Amino acid sequence: MGSSPLQFVPHRRFNPLTEEWVLVSPHRAQRPWLGKVEEDGAAEPPAYDPACYLCPGNERAAGVRNPQYESTFIFENDFPALLPDAPTIDVDESNLIVARSEPGICRVVCFSPRHDLTIARMNPKEVCRVVECWARETSALAAVPWINYVQIFENRGALMGASNPHPHCQIWATATVPDVPAKESLSFAKYRNGKKSCLLCDYLRLELKRGERVVCENESFAVVVPYWATWPFETLLLSKRHLQDLTQLSASERDQLAEILHRIVRRYDDLFQAPFPYSMGFHQRPADQQPHEEWHLHAHYFPPLLRSATVRKFMVGFELLGTPQRDLTPESAAARLREAGEAHDRDQ
């Protein structure tokens, strides 16, 4: 944070996207660590795993067999969290016991036929095929009359709940807009009505001008550690052009998005000298056939690692019961990610 007095003082930072606060305690970064340290010890995965239900030609649940796919591969989730034919149920007892059924569509996208690859180890051309797939799926699912939101997300690593190391992500299309993008939608609209401009366009201009929280950028995208970051090495990926969703990307912007995705994950891996666990997801405008000019396409990375590949940080204690809190400042996290390289010790 340079000479800012905030680097020594506990303070709160406001998140304009969700209109919530995060408590920052920079003075705690020097405290001794006596927590549990775990050895990873994970073996290098093979290029093909006969026991993997996502590898080409292998059998999935209920006897479904994957084709011998050679690029991206999409299928309906065998164990979906949402069902398209969920019966209509509406429970409301005095506005205290309230429930409504939620139909939806859940799909899985395998990034590559290679079991041992990640976004960091795929080349940008391969990652671009994934981006193109995301755009196609967004368009197709948004066209379903009762779908109102398309959420693309990737959980990488067992630490983040990934049940299979094969490179893949999920797409959940829902009848209602989930809570976090719904909050962002309200904030975008409120800001546009008051300022007559875009919240994230204005924010990105500030970050690019200051530079201290910018991790990397190219012609079309920038990755920053947001001023209000909660997770230790949380980043925010922003389009430089005002776009509402992935379907609006030009061909060159798809290439640029693939490149920046490739670069930020390599930085994560380089910083911690290990395959880096994270949850990543794109936020884009609701799929209700409205223009939503106030919306700005972006992606969030939420990684749990704190000091090393074995020291982790989750929401506990005060964070669960009061307000999210962090010791590592966004400025320090951005500096460490900038210093990390983009070469990868396990390149193909």
Residue 32 is predicted with a pLDDT of 43
Give the list of residues 6+ apart from residue 245 with CB closer than 8 angstroms, or none. 138, 142, 284, 285, 295, 297
pTM exceeds 0.85, yes or no: yes
Q: What gap in Å lies between CA 233 and CA 246, rounded to an integer?
A: 25
Show pLDDT as tens, one digit a residue, over the chain (348 residues): 445 667 767 677 888 998 887 777 675 555 444 344 444 445 678 999 999 999 999 999 878 999 999 999 999 999 888 889 888 888 888 887 778 888 899 999 999 999 999 999 999 899 999 999 999 999 999 999 999 999 999 998 877 778 789 999 999 999 999 999 999 999 999 999 999 999 999 999 999 999 999 999 999 999 999 999 988 899 999 999 999 999 999 999 999 999 999 999 999 998 887 778 899 999 999 999 999 999 999 999 998 876 655 556 666 666 656 667 777 889 999 999 999 878 765 554
Residue 29 is predicted with a pLDDT of 56
Residue 38 is predicted with a pLDDT of 46
Domains in the chain, start-ordered, CATH in brackets? 42-339 (3.30.428.10)
Catalytic entry in 168, 283, 298, 300:
168
In the chain, how many H helices and how many E strands? 6, 16
Over the range 114-132, which residues count as b (16 or more CB within 10 Å of their CB) and which as e?
bbbbbbbbbebebbbbbbb
Annotation marks residue 168 as catalytic? yes
Q: What gap in Å lies between CA 51 and CA 64, rounded to an integer?
A: 14
